[in-house]
Chain A
Amino acid sequence: MAYDISSKTGFVANLGKIYGAYAGVFLGFVVVLAILEQMGVPNAVIGYCFVFLTIGVYAYIGILSRTMELSEYYVAGRVVPAFYNGMATGADWMSAASFISMAGGLYLAGFANLGYVLGWTGGYVLVAVLLAPYLRKFGQFTVPDFLGTRYEGNGARVCGVVVLFAASFTYIVAQCYGIGIITSRFIGISFELAIFVGLAGILVCSMLGGMRAVTWTQVAQYIVLIVAYLVPVIWLSTKLYGIPIPELTYGMALEEIASLEQKLGILKPHAAPYVDAAGKFSWVEFNNFWALVLCLMVGTASLPHILMRYFTTPNVRQARESVGWSIFFIFLLYFTAPAYAAFAKLEVYSHVIGQPIAQLPIWVQNWSQVGGLLTIRDANNDGILQLAEFIINQDIIVLSMPEIAGLPYVISGLVAAGGLAAALSTADGLLLAIANALSHDIYYKMLDPKASTVRRLTVARGLLVAVALVAAAVAGTRPDGIIQMVAWAFSLAAAGLFAPLVLGIWWKRTTAAGAVAGMISGFSVCLFYLVMTRYFPETFQAWFGTNLWWGIRNISSALFGLPVAFAVTWTVSMVTTAPSKEMQDFVDSIRTPRGDVKWAIAGVRE
């Protein structure tokens, strides 16, 4: 990559060549490591190579992308073509949870967890239709910036920053945690130290070049993560059924699973929708399924680190197309995840359960030696492994797939590099979303509007490092239930941000008072339900005479916050004075792709 990343035209005009060459070099690198492994290079060295060389490449891109210009730092100079913004969004979106845990969740819960697959893809339709093109036309730097402009004043801006922080901070802590786990496993250092090695990897990508650096590393990270995800499962599909398309062949695995389930006497079939533990249809499961799908979708369309990616395309038209590419690149991983689950389940049911414990497959023996991920306990001392004696952690499914497929260690290293790419790219996106909101919306717009460019960039970078350090420190305490809290981020963002964003564009009558009241009430109801049902279940029971409203689990608490946000915004807007003519013209101007934005307040334009 000898191109000068700082000359926009040279670099952007040659993106295809550059990333094509990069993908080729990456595959070559995997092949070389595979050959080295055959020549007897120890596994630890291969693990080192994957972790340090990939981080090294991201760091190199990050350093090449350093910038001292505001629009480069905040929105990558608005030169990112739709296709590449799609890839970057894919990496931004897919975190350690998608990469490592989702397939395992499907393994454990079957149909019920397809709610995640649906919820984490369908939200992009909402982004495409309701938000992305209009936010791009608005053309400023952050999501709270839009709220502050449309709802004239700092009230809406501050509410936006609070919701953004609540949703993004727990999410970034979880990413740091994932980075710590992967790094410590593959380079053999302590978890606490590994977090700070990973932190260096995050900062070097984002600190010098802001959004520009994050964008171009995310494209590189997407390529690594998708290759790493697809290779083992394609290999296994070919091995089992002779066809290298796992998405097609796992139907046969599902059929075999169904007959094995009957043989083993499993009550809850893998593919059965809306069933309880006894395998009976349950309305509670049914309601929780659609509630989860709704909350994850609306949450997707409200998370600022995703929405801000659409600020970076050259124009409105490309912002729309770029949502299509985003969901396409995400789809490639998500429609493969259920295949992972099915193949792993088939392997476990046919070669692990009911076998003599002394003769289990080699991958089971290897993983049961790693603390806590796979437990085998011969409870009835018959020497045969029963289903209840086999306890598997959901994170194991993707990580052990190379061994289940009988692949060399180099593929395990590849999977680790993929998981690391997923966690790093999401952490970078989140970090920028938080730090930019603090530096642009709080510092520049509210505290010091006369700050010079140099000063603004210095503050932005200082806040970036500060937020990253705090997130890493919190992750270092191994906070309990962090994965649960990530899922909360979706509900919090949905309840707090969706109504003011969508209504601000689609309903001119929305007033500033209405939006602020809607945000506060929607977010509060959601937060109340989350905190009460999670931490104070007895009090909740005493107040409402039930432990959950209509049996809806708190992961879907936006189901209650969302209608409140819309209802309150509407009611308060109707009783307050309609927005000014200037504000209505502003809304008209962001609805049409052509022409200038008509600012309702003078002097907001950068």
Chain B
Amino acid sequence: MQEPTLSREKMDNYWRKTSRLMWTILALWFVASFGVHFFAVPLNGIKILGFPLGFYFAAQGSLIVFVVLCFWNAHAQNKIDEEFGVAED
């Protein structure tokens, strides 16, 4: 195994970018977990295929967002790793 010869500066940049991705995903996670459900009462006035929209987001919509967020995180973080040359071989 080779040592990652990252300079202090490069390591800090790598971590800054990783942190930015972390905060972006957590912000979206917050909206899907809490933000949208704060408006469940008015949203329930809208109906699609019989589903009141507020109910739909809590039962399915947010879950789909979570799945997408997890895969997107893996993809985006892999790209950051490759950019800085710290991905595994």
Contacts and interface: CB of A to CB of B under 8 A. Distances in A.
Chain B at the A interface: mostly helix, strand, loop or mixed?
helix
A19 interface: no
The range of chain B's interface size is: 35 or more
A596 B1 contact: yes
Contacts of B78: 317, 320
B63 A593 contact: no
A330 B1 CA distance: 36
A479 interface: no
Contacts of B49: 248, 251-252
A47 to B, nearest CB: 33
Interface in A83-127: 111, 114-115, 117-118, 121-122, 124-126
A335 B40 contact: no
A293 interface: yes
B88 A594 contact: yes
B26 A328 contact: no
Most buried by B among A273, A294, A328: A273
Contact of A595 (B52, B73, B86): B86
Contact of B63 (A130, A294, A334): A334
Contact of B6 (A324, A506, A592): A592
Contact of A328 (B15, B59, B67): B67
B87 A254 contact: no
A111 B74 contact: no
A596 B1 CA distance: 7
Contact of B66 (A121, A133, A247): A121
A323 B70 contact: yes
A593 B29 CA distance: 24
A594 B11 contact: no
Interface string B15-30: 1001101100110010
Given A125-B29, A273-B40, A594-B86, A327 B58 contact: no
Contacts of B52: 254, 271
Contacts of B70: 124-125, 128, 323-324, 326-328
Contacts, number: 159
Interface in A298-327: 315-317, 320-321, 323-324, 326-327
Nearest to A126: B29
A254 B51 contact: yes
Summarize A's interface: helix, strand, loop or mixed.
Answer: helix
Q: How large is the interface on A (under 10, 10 to 19, 20 to 34, 35 or more residues)?
A: 35 or more
B41 interface: yes
A424 interface: no
B57 to A, nearest CB: 9
Given A122-B33, A126-B29, A588-B11, A271 B88 contact: no
Interface string B48-89: 111110111011101110110111011001100100011111
Nearest to B15: A591
A594 B48 contact: no
A11 interface: no
A133 B88 CA distance: 12
Nearest to A598: B3
Nearest to A289: B37
B87 A251 contact: no
A130 B77 CA distance: 12
Interface string A586-606: 001001111110000000000
B51 A118 contact: no
Contact of A121 (B63, B73, B74): B63
Contact of B48 (A251, A331, A335, A338): A251
A129 interface: yes
Contacts of B88: 315-317, 593-594
Contacts of A316: 88
Given A252-B50, A254-B55, A596-B3, A331 B41 contact: no
B77 A320 contact: yes
A591 B89 CA distance: 16
Contacts of B1: 595-596
A328 B38 CA distance: 25
A290 interface: yes
A592 B55 CA distance: 41
A320 B71 CA distance: 8
Given A111-B58, A290-B37, A331 B77 contact: no
Contact of A274 (B41, B50, B87): B41
16 contacts: A111-B55, A114-B59, A121-B62, A124-B70, A130-B22, A271-B44, A271-B52, A271-B54, A273-B40, A293-B34, A315-B88, A317-B74, A335-B64, A592-B6, A593-B88, A595-B4
- A-B pairs, 9 with minimum CB distance: A251-B50, A595-B4, A273-B40, A320-B74, A251-B51, A255-B50, A114-B58, A324-B71, A324-B70
Interface of B: 1-4, 6, 11, 14-15, 18-19, 21-22, 25-26, 29, 32-34, 37-38, 40-41, 44, 47-52, 54-56, 58-60, 62-64, 66-67, 69-71, 73-74, 77-78, 81, 85-89
Given A247-B60, A317-B88, A592-B11, 12 more contacts: A121-B63, A122-B29, A125-B26, A125-B66, A254-B50, A255-B47, A273-B58, A281-B41, A294-B34, A506-B19, A594-B85, A594-B88
Interface of A: 111, 114-115, 117-118, 121-122, 124-126, 128-130, 133, 247-248, 250-255, 271-274, 281, 289-290, 293-294, 297, 315-317, 320-321, 323-324, 326-328, 331, 334-335, 338, 506, 588, 591-596
